[in-house]
Amino acid sequence: MKKFVFLLLFIPLVTFAQQAQKIARIDSVLTYLYQRQLFNGTVLIGEKGKVLYKKAFGISDPRTGASLTTASAFNLGSVSKQFFTMMIMILKEQGKLKYDDPVQQYLPQFPYSNITIRQLMNHTSGLPEYFDIALGDMNLLDTLTNESMLALLAVKKPDLVFQPGEQWQYSNTNYTTLASVLEKVSGTTADAFFQQYIAGPLGMKDTYIYDLTMRSYPSSRVFGFEYQKGVPVLNDLVRFDGIVGDGNVYSTVEDLYIWDQALYKEKLVSKATFEEAITSGKLNNGELTKYGFGWFVPEPGKKVSHTGGWVGFRNEITRYIDRNQTLIVLTNGTDASAIYLAKRIWEDKAITLPVTHLITNVNVIDGTGLAAFPASVRIVDDRIRDIGPLTPFVNEEVTDGQGKILAPGFIDSHSHHGSGLDDDPSALAATSQGITMIVIGQDGSSDPIDSIRASIQRHPVSINLATYTGQSTLREAAMKDDVLRKATVAEIDSMKVVLARELDNGSLGLSTGLEYEAAFYSSPEEVVELAKVAAEKGGRYISHIRSEDVSLDEAIAETIEIGRQADIPVQISHIKIAMRSKWGSSDRILRQMEQARLDGINITADIYPYTMWNSTPRVLFPKKDFESLASAEFATRELFDPAASVMVRYTPNPEWQGKTVSAIAAINHETPAQALLRIIRETAMPGQGGTIVATSMSETDISHFLKWPYTNVCSDGAMSGHPRGHGAFTRVLGRYVREQHLMSLETAIQKMTSLTAENIGIQGRGMIAPGYFADLVLFDPETVIDNATIENPLALSTGINYVWVNGKLVYSDQKAVKNFPGQFVERR
């Protein structure tokens, strides 16, 4: 018995100490955030009517620098909604309306006869979002008001998203309509009613409904802002703000606490009436919605809350109604971390503080093609936060860029580095040339996305990955490896199902390797059918086209035709002219592609900067007649230079590995054509294989293709083999930009970053801009160069200093840093 009494006495003491500790923790976290421009606002924590913590951080107006106080009035955004539902409750108690009355009873012009007031309040009406309705029709100078909004609804009568009561979907239109009902029924303005029945009686002296049509505002009004170049810049009301109901109640943490406490008593409406507001609404089928009247109900009977986000403002009120505790955070900034973190601490959940990092003293090339400019770049966790003449915060990690170039991390739109990630998860071959993201699933061959995700979860990697879905892989599955023929309708249908599933899972689109045997025999119709599936889902088409030599023109025409028929953006991958007698026709091919663009086909290309390719020697037989001496002689004459083409892998006789085809011919006292036939024969034996790096293109064509405004840079490289795996990007920067002046550095960077992101269809990467992922490369434009060669394909590039992926350093001066922040990147 004694022990029991002791515990009873002791528990509240511990709780009290814990609570004080939590508040101290919240205060220190808010201070930390405030000092790093991650929070500007006011906070109040209360319990049973007693204020436990109340504090203001920062400024109320970026133009004057005036300080916030806990009596400063913020635009509550959607936290306003609870006040509008309260006014409807008051009208109901006055007998002036019933929740289940149709809206049309009060607003005859409202075009939906079967929507009730209750459905507006609990977001089950099916009304579409008014921003979308208004944007199409508004004059840019108009200010939207409740009246004009209602008129717009009446005229356009947009389709409901669902039949009333069938689903729950948050829509601000419910509340703008609710405000119109309120004004109609009460015969006065929303603010006049609000002052008379809520703010006045409760003594909320700094709370009011404000809209853009009003001429003045109280001095307590707070202005929203954001940091640009380290300086606070006004970011406040927009032309939607002539409207009320969904937002535009202004209030302070002090007034909101008065409001919160009044809700426990029967000061405004009866207990039963308010109880319904914080009880989940019901759908027609009886299912609960977790939303009452202007309140989210995450834990019925325990916790109700509402967030409010609007231009320049982020807010939340959380009421722990079983304990009568309240947490209010109002911010006039763009960052919600204070709201999130304070709530998690109060709820005894673990937190991670955001970490900022400043890269100073750099010339920023932002990836858009704009000229370099001196600046500092601030990173918060995995994102770029700000760019400009920024100064370090207290204790902030700073990297001195020593005046070098800071660019977005390079995106490799055609990569084979993925298969080497098991052996080298740091992807040194890629990061050492500034690549932060590789795009795999190329040439028609891909892995299922679930297995890619699982694999990088099991073995985290240093670079980001995205993938296309390969046609040959789809064929092999659907046709049970019997792929040297056309697919049947049923087989194509089964490929479409798998492709659609992969696209839903984030695939960038369809890739083909039509020159390779697993796809060479597929009909153009099959490819179009599959491309249409990708197009429907917003995906893209990338192709190693059917021929890069003898039938190059036809292969490009086929690609254009796929773009036309499937209505899909098409990319010719590693564009090249691999046939001597066609050298010099790059201008004509580019004109063909330009014409397609004029015809409305979004055709683009990528390229690697080498005159040699890397593949199976079998591609040297365009007719697939692998025993024909005539074809072998044609190949040695037209398709590659046997004296400058090396068997980099040759399993039948490893001693020949590293030798040219001419050297192998000499050993066997054969002509190069005979040697080629021997190579084909021996590498086709069971369990054998071979890879050739074949010299076959002209520098002039490469330069022309590289300069085309729609060509982005790729490597087509792997962790070993062809030197492009280690040097493609640095080779462009060193040889084509610095030495040959083929294009400006800014243009080259654009072709490695934002253009690539555009061409593959991803968002949030490829530029140095606020909110973009912090994939970055710091390099020296005076020294950057590739060093990898056929003889020494693993040599690292010179001049790449640092590479960051998702804000984490992964490469530093010739060495991989053991960080593995790589993410799987989905189609936008």
Structure tokens at 59: 């400024």
Phi, psi (deg, nearest 5) at residue 405: -85, 130
Complex with Zn ion: residue 206 or 447, whichever CB lies closer:
447
Can you tell me the distance from the alpha carbon of 274 to that of 292, in angstroms, rounded to the nearest whole number? Answer: 10
Complex with Zn ion: residue 251 or 471, whichever CB lies closer:
471
Give yes or no for a contact between 330 and 30, defined as CB atoms under 8 angstroms apart. no
> Which one of 73-81, 166-174, 542-550, 808-816 is the stretch in contact with Zn ion (CB under 5 A)?
542-550
Size of the site for Zn ion (CB under 5 A): 2
Give yes or no for a contact between 408 and 370, defined as CB atoms under 8 angstroms apart. no
| The only residue of 544, 704, 722, 731 in contact with Zn ion, by rule CB under 5 A | 544
What lies within 8 Å, CB to CB, of 497 at 6+ separation is none
Asked if 515 interacts with Zn ion (CB under 5 A), we say no
> Which one of 69-77, 219-227, 437-445, 631-639 is the stretch in contact with Zn ion (CB under 5 A)?
437-445
Residue 573 beta carbon to Zn ion: minimum distance, rounded to whole angstroms? 6
Binding mask 389-428 for Zn ion (x = CB under 5 A): ----------------------------------------
Give yes or no for a contact between 290 and 299, defined as CB atoms under 8 angstroms apart. no
Phi, psi (deg, nearest 5) at residue 64: -110, -20
**Number of Cα atoms under 13 Å in the Cβ half of residue 344:** 13
> Which one of 269-277, 312-320, 539-547, 556-564 is the stretch in contact with Zn ion (CB under 5 A)?
539-547
> Which one of 164-172, 252-260, 402-410, 536-544 is the stretch in contact with Zn ion (CB under 5 A)?
536-544
CA angle 192, 193, 198 (to 5 degrees): 110
Complex with Zn ion: residue 335 or 443, whichever CB lies closer:
443
Within 10 Å of residue 569's Cβ, how many Cβ atoms?
Answer: 22
Within 10 Å of residue 567's Cβ, how many Cβ atoms?
Answer: 14
> Which one of 10-18, 183-191, 438-446, 795-803 is the stretch in contact with Zn ion (CB under 5 A)?
438-446
Residue 545 beta carbon to Zn ion: minimum distance, rounded to whole angstroms? 9
> Which one of 372-380, 418-426, 442-450, 749-757 is the stretch in contact with Zn ion (CB under 5 A)?
442-450
Complex with Zn ion: residue 470 or 672, whichever CB lies closer:
470
**For the residues of 652-690, what is the DSSP string, one character each?**
T-GGGTT-BHHHHHHHTT--HHHHHHHHHHHHTSTT--E
| The only residue of 366, 443, 548, 641 in contact with Zn ion, by rule CB under 5 A | 443
Can you tell me the distance from the alpha carbon of 131 to that of 172, in angstroms, rounded to the nearest whole number? Answer: 8
In SS3 terms, 641-661 reads as CHHHCEEEEECCCHHHCCCEH
In SS3 terms, 202-237 reads as HCCCCCEECCCCCCCCCCCECCCEEEECCEEEECCC
Residue 476 beta carbon to Zn ion: minimum distance, rounded to whole angstroms? 17
Complex with Zn ion: residue 120 or 439, whichever CB lies closer:
439
How many residues does this entry show for the chain?
Answer: 828
Which residue's CB comes closest to Zn ion? 544
The residues in 659-688 that bind Zn ion, with binding defined as CB under 5 A, are none
Residue 155 beta carbon to Zn ion: minimum distance, rounded to whole angstroms? 54
Can you tell me the distance from the alpha carbon of 172 to that of 188, in angstroms, rounded to the nearest whole number? Answer: 22
Complex with Zn ion: residue 443 or 786, whichever CB lies closer:
443
Complex with Zn ion: residue 443 or 641, whichever CB lies closer:
443
Respond yes or no: is residue 78 known to be catalytic: yes
Residue 607 beta carbon to Zn ion: minimum distance, rounded to whole angstroms? 12
**Residue 799: DSSP 8-state:** S
Q: Which of 60, 72, 78, 280 is catalytic?
A: 78
Residue 548 beta carbon to Zn ion: minimum distance, rounded to whole angstroms? 9
Residue 671 beta carbon to Zn ion: minimum distance, rounded to whole angstroms? 29
Complex with Zn ion: residue 341 or 578, whichever CB lies closer:
578
The residues in 192-221 that bind Zn ion, with binding defined as CB under 5 A, are none
Give the CA dihedral 519, 520, 524, 525, nearest 10 degrees. -50
Contact residues for Zn ion, defined by CB under 5 A: 443, 544
Active-site residues, by number, are: 78
